[in-house]
Chains A and B, each alone.
Chain A
């Protein structure tokens, strides 16, 4: 089968985001950008399925600016076979993303689409579920284990109280949780090889998708700042503070 893996270029997870003083958003000028960590896990899982002989081809897809090519090259260096960049400078919402991925899924007919459970910039946690709704396929969200068995896939999911396992008819949508796997690093030879792998560039209009936002960002502000606390000298002082607050056994 073919596996489709959408990936997103986001502010690197180690960078502390700075809110722009005019309240229009987070400052992304001259900051390190990387592949969304959950998407690295998605690529890794797809490659592992290919290595097990379950998948024949892994196609990485990204919707974003020309620079999202770098993110796709990373996916190719990890082991994806080819890539599609749907190029746009607009911020594309999960619903429109899901529509683009639906159109690509119609054209590519994958057996599985593996996405990250959420992007660490918008923190929406929607795209995979929306794609599942639009394709009419089953969804295995927050996956910590994925086993393809014949015409279905078993997905173990991280849920609030622990774990649960569901069995989904293929084709299906899986979204990755952190513990699904540990993504590999791309080796230098593979980074070089990735440069010659195919990367198609398209636009949202090629898929007939309108990316006009449905939700308008009125403003972006700093979260409320916690007032500075104090350092206590020893356990006795801490116990006194806790007792003063009414915390005791």
Chain B
């Protein structure tokens, strides 16, 4: 089987999410990459180094500059004439583009695969991760999105893919990019961090989040996360949100501080290797999944913890 992997990048470098998708694709067959964007020579060179990669298709065109699915999907659909499967990371970019590609090809997409069980058989989470479905496609071509935390990342060096320019596609003229507001974080990205410190509603305010959660994260070199309640209350920006409707993470250690553990939150973090919960309510559902639980007032316990590690 010949696969085509969507390379997610920021115009300068390949994003980590792509590496896990390469691993998933390599379980199906020969791995080709697609680098689409505007001025993406450096990204294409970097992509060609990824271990196990065959060809790197490069579509360099201003129309592809901002990942507009109206322009990208027809390009992918055309390349799918010579590929059997299209795989994209289950990021907001991948989720935006892949279903549009699938419908253009008249195939059903399989979303957020967790494992490859056979040439057309995969597992995926349903009901916010409360059930795992094993599904088998009967379509001639596959369109898959891949949950990044479920696959090892392919090595980013050691490969020698052949770079080939693609001239297909262009601007469909029905959509345009206006601008972006990207939250600034001088710390690891949430989805690839080894340690995450997350705060919930019990913090009570944005100031307390800064005062209690941030110092612990700083000390551990951790990424910052939050429950939906903390985001809705305005303690932190919404891209901090971990859960079914936010980001799905699986770090080595996840600190859930003042988070009760609603099923929508658990869906985003219960594959973490070790979960540490600090909550004053000993009946909070978070303690059912926590490896280490501390029943205590977070305003005393967390600063003490920060001081002692």
Q: Chain A interface (Cβ within 8 Å of chain B)?
A: 11, 13, 16-17, 19, 26, 93-95, 98, 120-134, 136-139, 141-142, 144, 154, 157-169, 172, 177-179, 213-223, 226, 229-232, 234-236, 238-239, 241-243, 245, 247-249
Contact = CB atoms under 8 A, between A and B. Distances in A.
Contacts of B244: 120, 123
- Specify the main secondary structure of chain B where it touches its partner: mixed
A167 B178 contact: yes
Contacts of B129: 223
Q: Which interface residue of B104, B247, B282, B309 has the most chain A CB atoms within 10 A?
A: B309
Contacts of A222: 131-132
Interface in B208-266: 219-221, 228, 232, 237-239, 244-245, 247, 252-253, 263-264
A121 B127 contact: yes
Given A125-B99, A245-B274, A220 B131 contact: yes
A168 B181 contact: no
B14 to A, nearest CB: 15
B139 interface: yes
Interface stretch (B38-46, B53-61, B65-73): B65-73
Nearest to B110: A215
A230 B99 contact: no
A132 B174 CA distance: 11
A111 B107 CA distance: 27
Contacts of A132: 69-70, 100
B291 interface: yes
Interface in B134-179: 134-139, 173-179
A163 B99 CA distance: 21
A165 B127 CA distance: 30
Given A221-B132, A230-B291, A139 B253 contact: no
B275 interface: yes
Contact of A16 (B91, B130, B173): B130
Interface in B252-309: 252-253, 263-264, 270, 274-276, 282, 287, 289-296, 301, 304-305, 308-309
Contacts of B68: 166
Interface in B95-131: 95-104, 106-112, 121, 125-131
Given A236-B308, A242-B309, 17 more contacts: A95-B102, A129-B99, A130-B100, A132-B69, A133-B99, A141-B92, A160-B191, A162-B183, A167-B177, A214-B138, A215-B108, A215-B137, A215-B138, A220-B133, A221-B134, A247-B252, A249-B219
20 contacts: A123-B244, A128-B99, A129-B98, A130-B109, A137-B174, A159-B92, A179-B238, A214-B138, A215-B135, A217-B133, A218-B121, A223-B130, A223-B270, A226-B275, A230-B291, A231-B293, A232-B293, A235-B308, A242-B253, A242-B276
Contact of B237 (A128, A162, A165, A172): A162
A150 B103 CA distance: 29
Contact of B291 (A129, A159, A229): A229
Contacts of A128: 99
Contacts of B191: 160
A21 B124 CA distance: 18
Nearest to B293: A231
A173 to B, nearest CB: 10
